[in-house]
Structure 1
Amino acid sequence: MRPLVPPPPERSAELRRRFAEEARSPRPDLSALCLLVGAVADGALDEAGLDAAQVELDRLAGQLPFRPGGPRAWAEALRDLLGGRYGFGGSAGDYRRLESSLLHSVLQRRRGLPILLSVVWLEVARRAGAPVYGVALPGHFVVGFGAEDAAGERVLADPFAGGRLLSGADAELLVLQATGVPLEPSMLRPADPLEVVLRILNNVRAWAAARPERSDVALWAVELSLLLPSHPARLRYERAQVLVQRGEFVRGAAELEAYAEVVAAVDAPAAEQVRQQARAARARLN
């Protein structure tokens, strides 16, 4: 397995600028955002590689039947092409690999996490003109075909399982296994591109959190998350913690103090605790 080496600082800064610009555009492009995440993670992904990944998505879309029919026909066509002919899918082992969260790698390996495989399904289907949208079920991302609202036929497919079509009972079971609670209608609403990207970055942060030696990955994942127009304020606290973990005590302390100012307006005792953490970080310089 080729080790992932991040790009040099100048290239990384340019990629982040482009990521922020795309995220703030009127209609953010999901594939572009996911590929920029990959380029920040993998310095070997150059401009030619970014273009090649988009071309591959176009190529796959070109192999779908022309307007095969209703939502079920579209879902079956994607299943047969991506899950069947090309073998896109996932297994438990894919959760242990950072590459499973990077779109360019998923296109090459045809393996990945549910959400990245769903991105492949979404982007290929969208290019072919399918009525498709992402569905962020708790713990397991899937793809919906058909009307985004309650009207008309809707079909769910699980790209992680090769595009298996899901019955209502199947979807119920996925949610129950992930959360222990029943499926609610609100869980079936379409996910917008920025929600998808934030969830991908959440997965990367979770991967890095389980590997303290990969604080470099934790840092770029949280910093990209902070570039999204809407993100949890607590990410600033997480970034500060990662900086301290990496020995960047001054920057970490400054981030903690800035976060404390935000918290102070709603929870003064919590803000004071964060300030104490900032003082402790600065004390580690002595």
Structure 2
Amino acid sequence: MVAIDLQGCIEDWKNAVATPIRMTEDTRRLAEYSLHVSRILAYPELNIGSISRQIDGLGNELSQKVKNPKRLRPTQLIEELNDFFFNKVKFKPNAHDYYNPANNYLNIVLERKTGIPITLSIIYMRIASVLDFTLFPVNFPAHFLVKYILDDQSADIVIDPFNMGRIMDDYSLKELLERSYPRQNMVLTRALLTNATVSQVIVRLLNNLKNSFYESDDLERAELANEMIISIDETNPFAMRDRGMIFLKRGQQMEALAMLSKYLEMHPETNDADTILELIRQIRSQSR
């Protein structure tokens, strides 16, 4: 395997994504940014423009079927979008191989027509945007969603592209929370359904990949994914923690100690404080 040029990749990432993502909040570019994730982490020859045009081509195909989208109610447009996305194009959830890192590469999801909530949602939103039907990302805990905001902003229509475009009422959302966090008694609040920023979506996608790389001991790509996160969100405490954990797994104990200590300074009330403190104690005792 060819060694990764970490600095070169990060410069590439900053030019393609991290810098423009700070300049404008444009959900229409989520697919493009996600494809750059694929390109930098796994597919260096990926043609971003060609893949983007494929996705827009699906939107154009749907627009031929839905001639006057503005005359339809939002729920009717969602029905048309769902019929096209799931029945015509045949996208489907990859529930049987959910944690396969390929589910996070938008080009592979487009090719195989199967993915996880975040990648299916990104393609779903992009196709909808071709109809001028604007959907917003929702960083719901453990399960990515999208939503449509009614014109008078009186309510949101929350949609689950991983579940055949199901419209989620409060009962469904509570059920999803309980299934994802069975022992934590999480309460459904409106805060859980706020619009996610483009940066938050890309960071979530990168976190998925970073965790996969770390668990498979692909520390070079775990580090690259983590540094890509930091280039977007320099104060992200969890990226500081994971930088320390990668150092530790490599045997770089002093570097790990510095990063893990910095993490606790930044985030003293974190749920994993006891675990990190124990790691710090172990590093210090081994370095005496």
TM-score, normalized by length of structure 1?
Answer: 0.80
2:174 counterpart (172, 175, 196): 172
Residues 42-67 of structure 1: CA distance to partner in whole angstroms, max 9, x if unpaired? 13443xx2111111121111122244
2:215 maps to which residue? 210
Q: How far, CA to CA, are the matches of 1:38 and 1:76 in structure 2? A: 30
C-alpha change, 1:51 and 1:10, in structure 2 (3 Å) is farther
Offset of residue 140 of structure 1: 1.1
**1:38-77 → structure 2 map (5 Å cutoff):** 38-46=38-46, 49-64=47-62, 65-68=66-69, 69-77=72-80
Superposed CA RMSD in Å reads 3.3
Q: How far, CA to CA, are the matches of 1:71 and 1:58 in structure 2? A: 20
C-alpha change, 1:122 and 1:8, in structure 2 (3 Å) is same
2:192 maps to which residue? 187
Offset of residue 27 of structure 1: 2.5
Offset of residue 166 of structure 1: 3.0
Does 18-27 or 93-102 show the bigger shift? 18-27
Write the letter of the residue equivalent to 2:59: A
Q: How far, CA to CA, are the matches of 1:146 and 1:67 in structure 2? A: 19
Residues 227-272 of structure 1: CA distance to partner in whole angstroms, max 9, x if unpaired? 113652232231122133235x2xx6346426645755886x9999
**1:52-201 → structure 2 map (5 Å cutoff):** 52-64=50-62, 65-68=66-69, 69-147=72-150, 151-152=154-155, 154-180=156-182, 181-201=186-206
Q: How far, CA to CA, are the matches of 2:152 and 2:188 in structure 1? A: 17
Q: How far, CA to CA, are the matches of 2:247 and 2:108 in structure 1? A: 28
Paired residues in the alignment total 272
Residues 93-135 of structure 1: CA distance to partner in whole angstroms, max 9, x if unpaired? 2323111011121111111110111111112212321031122
List structure 1 segments (4+ residues) > 4 angstroms apart after TM superposition: 4-11, 261-267, 269-281
TM-score, normalized by length of structure 2?
Answer: 0.79
Using the aligned pairs only, state the percent identity.
22
Unaligned runs of 5+ in 2: none
Q: How far, CA to CA, are the matches of 1:222 and 1:149 in structure 2? A: 40
Unaligned runs of 5+ in 1: none
Write the letter of the residue equivalent to 1:208: F
> Does the 8 A contact of 1:133 with 1:145 survive in 2?
yes
- Three-state SS of the structure 2 residue aligned to 1:156 is strand
Write the letter of the residue equivalent to 2:41: A
Q: How far, CA to CA, are the matches of 1:239 and 1:10 in structure 2? A: 15
